[in-house]
Amino acid sequence: MLREVTAVRYVTPLREGGSMPGLVEADDHRLYALKWSGAAQGRKALVAEVLAGRIGQALGLPVPELVRVDLDPVLARSEPEQQIQEQMRASGGVNVGLAFLSGAFNFDPLCFQVDPETAARVLWFDALIGNVDRSWRNPNLLVAAGRLHLIDHGASLIFHHHWAGAAGWIRRPYDAGDHALRRFAGDLAAVDAELAAQVTPELLAGAADAIPEEFLLDEPGFEHPRAVRDAYVAQLLARLAGPRDWLPVLPHDESEATA
């Protein structure tokens, strides 16, 4: 389960990304980048944020803490921009927050070096979840205190937008052509052998259990939230099973690059 906090103060919009998250202070006196449940991307973007983020955390990847944020829409009164006000008012109740990284700056692949193993681990993780939002144009990576942090996984796990055709996603190859860390990535085969063994049914079940139940209610084709959680686990286990030919193939000169 996600740790639960309540938003007590709206600070400012974070004017990046399609959902334009907001910076809020919670009752634990910490700041969070809040992903709105009422944003145009809908609750499934938050489901992907939680499920992918918890998998990444369980694999030891640097994903900021994810929390459940309860929001009183009355806080929208302090936001002067009407569009953002409307988004906040539509997000009353349960939302998802990521721990705010003070002083963090956006990753630039031309200015910041990433060690080959870390780059390969992130690339493998993105291939597993089908993350299409880690390009060099929009890497969704932050650097804080000299360390890389992974954010914004709402565009992954796209199969859940059409469960009837979800089986077709299981073997879908991952296109890493413009991945932000491709040129840094080391031995992807070695990373695959290590990480695939770690993604157990128990790990996936724990990640799925972290999804707030409110986001899984009334999902078409499922009788109850437990069935939806089980479907996510089964889908990812099926992707891991058998030959993982969905992994990108990196030429030797690129997989050895550290430049």
- Neighbouring CB atoms inside 10 A of 101's CB total 17
* Contact assessment for residue 118 and residue 185, using Cβ atoms and an 8 Å cutoff: no
Q: Is the dihedral of CA 73, 208, 177, 183 positive or negative?
A: positive
Does residue 60 have a pLDDT over 70?
A: yes
For residue 104, the surrounding DSSP H or E stretch is: none
Does residue 257 have a pLDDT over 60?
A: no
Q: Which two tokens stand for residue 169?
A: 């996603």
Residues 220, 164: Cα–Cα separation, whole Å: 10
Phi, then psi, of 223 in degrees rounded to 5: -80, -30
What's the pLDDT band for 254 if we cut at 50, 70, 90? Answer: very low
The pLDDT mean for the chain works out to 93
Segment 152-193, tens digit of pLDDT: 999 999 999 999 999 999 999 999 999 999 999 999 999 999
